[in-house]
Amino acid sequence: MRDINQIIVHCSATPPSMIVGADDIRKWHITRGWSDIGYHYVIRRNGVTEAGRDIEKAGAHAKGHNEDSIGICLIGGIDEVGKPDDNYTLLQYNELLRLINFLKITFPIKLLKGHRDLPGVTKACPCFDVDAWYKFETQLTF
């Protein structure tokens, strides 16, 4: 098993009207020449978590951070005209919190970040401050 010590949250950069899941993203990533979906988990708009890439394999979701991280993708993240938008459902936020807490019990997680918070990233993904949200929801710190 690889050493996992961080969680990185992403978005699918799809509007609320576009209903997609892990299988759709897997097809997009394989079409780009990747071996599989880049994320380990995908949280659909209805709050259902779908498995992505095998957790034992490094992801392909955050350059320079794939070897020791778990990638979680929230479906959504842009509005109907393609602008960044924190448009996730309450079901998604509840499931994200549950999944992060589960992963913290399972792995020695030391860092929780949104993709946008990594050095050199110029994307808005996932369109909210993951660390601040988690601290507010749990009153815990990393």
Residue 1 covered by a domain: no
Which member of 41, 61, 73, 125 is catalytic?
Answer: 125
Q: What is the mean pLDDT of residues 28-35?
A: 94
The C-alpha angle with vertex 44 and arms to 18 and 17, in degrees rounded to 5, equals 20
What is the bridge-based pairing of β-strands 69-74 and 111-114? unpaired
Q: How many separate domains does the chain show?
A: 1
Amino acid at 12: S
pLDDT at 141: 58
Q: What is the pTM of this model?
A: 0.95
Q: What are the residue ranges of helices labelled H in the chain? A: 22-31, 90-106, 130-138
The answer to whether the beta carbons of residues 101 and 109 sit under 8 Å apart is: no
Flag whether pLDDT at 75 surpasses 70: yes
pLDDT at 126: 98
Flag whether pLDDT at 139 surpasses 90: no
28-63 burial, b if ≥16 CB within 10 A, otherwise e?
ebeeeeeeebbbbbbbbbebebbebbebeebbbbbe
Percentage of residues in the chain having pLDDT higher than 90: 96
Flag whether pLDDT at 76 surpasses 80: yes
Which member of 11, 39, 40, 134 is catalytic?
Answer: 39
- Write out pLDDT tens, residues 91-135: 999 999 999 999 999 999 999 999 999 999 999 999 999 999 999
CA dist., res. 86 & res. 56, Å (int)? 30
Q: Is 135 a catalytic residue?
A: no
Which member of 65, 115, 127, 134 is catalytic?
Answer: 115
Can you give the CATH number for the domain in which 23 is found?
A: 3.40.80.10
Q: 85: domain range?
A: 6-138
Residue 40 covered by a domain: yes
pLDDT at 142: 58
Q: Is 11 a catalytic residue?
A: no
Closest by CA position to 6, among listed 48, 42, 59: 59
Structure tokens at 21: 């899941």
Residue 64 covered by a domain: yes
